[in-house]
Structure 1
Amino acid sequence: MVLRPPEDRPANPASAPSMSHHPSSTRHDVPCGFCGLLCDDLSVTTDHGRVRIDAGACPRATTGFDAANRALEAGATPRIKGQAASLEQAIAAAADILRGARAPLFGGNGTELPGMRGVMDLADATGGTVDHMNSYSLFRNFHVLQNSGWVVTSLSEVRNRADLLVCFGTDIASRLPRFYERCLWVDDTLFGLRAEDREVVMLGAPKDASLATSPAGRKAELLACANEDLAEVAQALRALVAGRPVTGDAVAGIATADLARLAERLKAAKYGVVAWVTSDLDFDHAELAVQSAC
């Protein structure tokens, strides 16, 4: 959803064009911005301002576009102390509040990149603090990046190269519904890698391991433990990959022999990938689990 700059918006909400002024049209290869995959193969039809997905829909896309439709139907009217106002009046009132604030906080920030840049510029100009609505999850990654760094890949590289995917405390598709369809169970790759050549292993407590089942019916291997124990499991895997002994028959309920086999598969993989979703690692000091996986 693109937010028009103030100079492009109608001065009075009542003068905004009604939904009946929007002609019907169908567009293809439309990007979806409702998860990190940014799928760009949607076909959508707009009719009187409403958006309908004709192809490429997933639960998140459907929910997101439906919410946009409802917001459009409801209309957005600026208000000052509960009273309707023009956009210019609302902006002026907000500016007055910010001028008098000593420590403004800009929270939420559920917007696209240009909107976020605008928030950052505003915070910089007013000496404010920015707190994203997902900051609690984001900082699980930031702490690792600050403390030890990491080596990352891209969705394109996963699609074209990954022959072993280890899902760390997540099934991925609960958060990114078309991940396996778009990035793993594909045969159209740059280097001849086919869907049947790929393996998926899930560590921890994913919401639904069946989401990683291949089109041929091959299920992901699950090495189950509590997500809170993933740091211990990852440290054991690091030791096994490095050729160091791990004592005991099990680590956090996972047989040491199973971890040893996974370590060998990681070493043998041409392009092994460990993936996690920090929102699924919802426990104290989860950054230590992420750091161990890196």
Structure 2
Amino acid sequence: MKSINCKGQLVTFETPKVMGILNITPNSFFDGGWHHSLEKIEQQIEKMLQEGAAIIDIGAYSTQPNAPFVSEEEELERMVPVVKHLVKKFPNAVFSIDTFRAEVAKQTLDLGAAMINDVSAGNLDDQMMQVVGSFKAPYIMMHMKGTPQNMQQFTDYDDVMHEMIYYFSDKMAQAQQHGIVDVIVDPGFGFSKTLDQNYEVLNKLDLLQNLNVPVLSALSRKSMIYKFFETTPQDALNGTTVLNTISLIKGANLLRVHDVREAVECVKLYTKTYC
């Protein structure tokens, strides 16, 4: 049975889990600017926890394609006061930090965050794995080439899944060398991939089970849904639910979503049918 140790709290994936997204950025593609006060942030976390989120993922740097660069200082200014407040307000919650910077990881893990979600898998900060390993924290490593600003220039693959599995195998070996015990892999839907490549990855998502670690699927309201239907992120909830269901059937252990209640219902219906 796959599981991760979050500050002594065991999170198991006997049944899939849901990770709720909390963006404290002004420019995220779906909910940018929504959570601009501690009161609104608390309300959103309470809502997600009540709806069944097992993990809350906090981000202070938008990684959507062509998102503007944010300095480390600004990311820390956004992130640190919020995390400091939330770990006291919600002492039993499991908080994940969405960052590719080692210093942000260090300061937030020091404050009581439980895990790190790194879109670059250490490629954008060579100190990241050392920091995560020193805290024995779980580490989510995502597949991406380039940076959030230029990643869509890097979509040439001979075989996208073959390259991804090789990428994760190499990254997992590096993580182990740095003392990281618990790893989760994220195929990075929408990162360094065309629309068709995203659907190819989803179709073959079960191949990631060969890595023998939990698999995260982060499809919530992404462009592979709303561009396919020629709509907007606001109109992409139904499509998200469909693709979350496919992800579960293909072996995903963790769904990262904006809409927790709908994702939890997805998991319950999947579990009723398949488990």
TM over 0.5: no
TM-score of the pair, normalised by structure 1? 0.25
| Larger-gyration structure (1/2) | 1
TM-score of the pair, normalised by structure 2? 0.26
Higher relative contact order (CA 8 A, sep 6+): 2
